[in-house]
């Protein structure tokens, strides 16, 4: 089992919490994944969130964003 509640790191876990637990943000992620697929949606979100951090201080990076949204792809 991965050490952070099933995620590869604290950063990945924290980014996932923020992307998946706010209704508006979650809905945006779902729409981007439906329209572009998880890989391209992660690139889009990464460019929009470049240099930003969650309120807890976790960096929004491409890998953490991708891991947070990849399961939204049907």
Give yes or no for a contact between 13 and 4, defined as CB atoms under 8 angstroms apart: yes
Note whether residue 15 is domain-resident.
Answer: yes
Give yes or no for a contact between 12 and 64, defined as CB atoms under 8 angstroms apart: yes
Note whether residue 39 is domain-resident.
Answer: yes
pLDDT by residue (tens digit) across 4-60?
888 999 999 999 999 999 999 999 999 999 999 999 999 999 999 999 999 999 999
Note whether residue 1 is domain-resident.
Answer: no
- Structural domain total, the chain: 1
Range of the domain at 39: 10-72
Q: Which residues of 51-67 are buried (b: 16+ CB within 10 A; e: fewer)?
A: eeebeeebebbeebbbb
Phi and psi at 64, nearest 5°, equal: -65, -40
Question: What pLDDT, on a 0 to 100 scale, did the predictor assign at position 2?
Answer: 72
Question: What pLDDT, on a 0 to 100 scale, did the predictor assign at position 74?
Answer: 75
């Amino acid at each position: 089992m991965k050490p952070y509640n099933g995620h590869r790191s604290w950063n990945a876990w924290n980014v996932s919490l923020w992307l998946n637990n706010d209704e508006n943000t979650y809905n945006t992620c779902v729409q981007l994944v439906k329209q572009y697929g998880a890989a391209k949606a992660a690139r889009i979100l990464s460019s929009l969130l470049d240099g930003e951090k969650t309120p807890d201080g976790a960096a929004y990076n491409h890998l953490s964003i991708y891991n947070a949204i990849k399961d939204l792809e049907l």
